[in-house]
Amino acid sequence: MSANKIRIADVLASKAQGQKLTMLTAYDYPMAKLVDEAGVDIVLVGDSLGMVVLGYETTTPVTMEDMLHHAKAARRGVQRALLVGDMPFLAVRGSVDESVKQAARFLQEAGCEAVKLEWRQGIEDTAKAIVDAGIPVMGHVGLTPQTAAGEGGFGMRGTDAASAARIIAQAVALQEVGCCAVVIECVPTEVAQDITQRLRIPTIGIGSGPSCDGQVLVLHDLLGLYERFTPRFVKRYARLAETIRHSIQTYVDEVHRGVFPGPEHTRTMSGEEWVRLREQLGADDVR
């Protein structure tokens, strides 16, 4: 992928060019800046925010205001990557018109360049209306965390022929209403491969094997920052939680022992000014 700003046209062209897309989540300025500088193509302000940053058990409680607050911060860190805002559960439960309004807020208020929408029955109409309003949409099929609790929890989807066929049909439906890409979460490799071969638009896999046109991970999983659980499909490239914990314990210990701050972190007064101050205050007042 080029070093220039990534646009929707580049995402679409990547498939024909056989260029794998990289996507990672980011929810704030410093992380978004690092992800962007490292050359990731798409930064997703995912509603995984709810779990890995806000500490909820699921993504369901995340509000549109939460998403916008974090998307604005991520926007300030991203220069090259395409910035995508994830429509939270609560933003797509009203009328189609209301969902279009909420999607537009990601572009108008936070400077995102596309939105992502999880599959559920009837969502094609919402996706179409958002696309028709001129807002690029990325679909999301397979495991859809917003509705996972009612569908047997967080686990693989499409492991039997009937459910795999449904997921394939969902991905095709999202393409047909104009989505620019589809995230495929936690489906068997063969199913992801079938969808990838069937679609003209790129597929971006998570826990769905290597055949997808791109890959996405939650940044806090990749960095080892979220320790509550790690899905099997995650590769941890770092153990930052351990590094952070150790750094903070060392700080606490050094403050207790008087090692920090040391002379290199401290400024002293000139001797002349110190004498003047003592004279001003009366030598007895100052040690």
Tell me which of 113, 118, 124, 185 is the catalytic residue. 185
DSSP letters spanning 218-271: -HHHHTT---S---TTPPP---HHHHHHHHHHHHHHHHHHT-SS-GGG-----H
Q: State the minimum distance, in angstroms, from the CB of residue 222 to ligand KIV.
A: 11
- Report yes or no: 50 and 242 within 8 Å, Cβ to Cβ: no
As given in the structure block, the two tokens for residue 127 are 């996706």
Distances (CA, A) of 244 to 32, 206, 248: 19, 27, 6
In the complex with ligand KIV, the residue whose CB is nearer, 234 or 278, is 234
In the complex with ligand KIV, the residue whose CB is nearer, 240 or 278, is 240
Q: State the minimum distance, in angstroms, from the CB of residue 276 to ligand KIV.
A: 59
In the complex with ligand KIV, the residue whose CB is nearer, 143 or 177, is 143
In the complex with ligand KIV, the residue whose CB is nearer, 15 or 140, is 140
Gap between the Cα atoms of 230 and 242, Å rounded: 15
Catalytic: 254?
no
Q: State the minimum distance, in angstroms, from the CB of residue 280 to ligand KIV.
A: 60
User: Which strand (E) or helix (H) includes residue 206?
Assistant: strand 203-206
In the complex with ligand KIV, the residue whose CB is nearer, 86 or 124, is 86
Q: State the minimum distance, in angstroms, from the CB of residue 46 to ligand KIV.
A: 2
Look-up of token digits 């491969």? 193
Give residue 245's identity as a one-letter amino acid code: R
Gap between the Cα atoms of 23 and 43, Å rounded: 6
Q: Using CB atoms, what's the residue nearest to ligand KIV?
A: 46
- Report yes or no: 124 and 87 within 8 Å, Cβ to Cβ: no
In the complex with ligand KIV, the residue whose CB is nearer, 177 or 186, is 186
- DSSP strand E in 13-136: where? 21-25, 42-45, 82-86, 114-118
The β-bridge partners of 140 are: 118, 183
Q: State the minimum distance, in angstroms, from the CB of residue 44 to ligand KIV.
A: 6
- Residues lying near ligand KIV in the complex (CB under 6 A) are found at 25, 44, 46-48, 86, 183, 206, 216, 218
Gap between the Cα atoms of 134 and 83, Å rounded: 16
Q: State the minimum distance, in angstroms, from the CB of residue 119 to ligand KIV.
A: 11
State the catalytic residues. 185
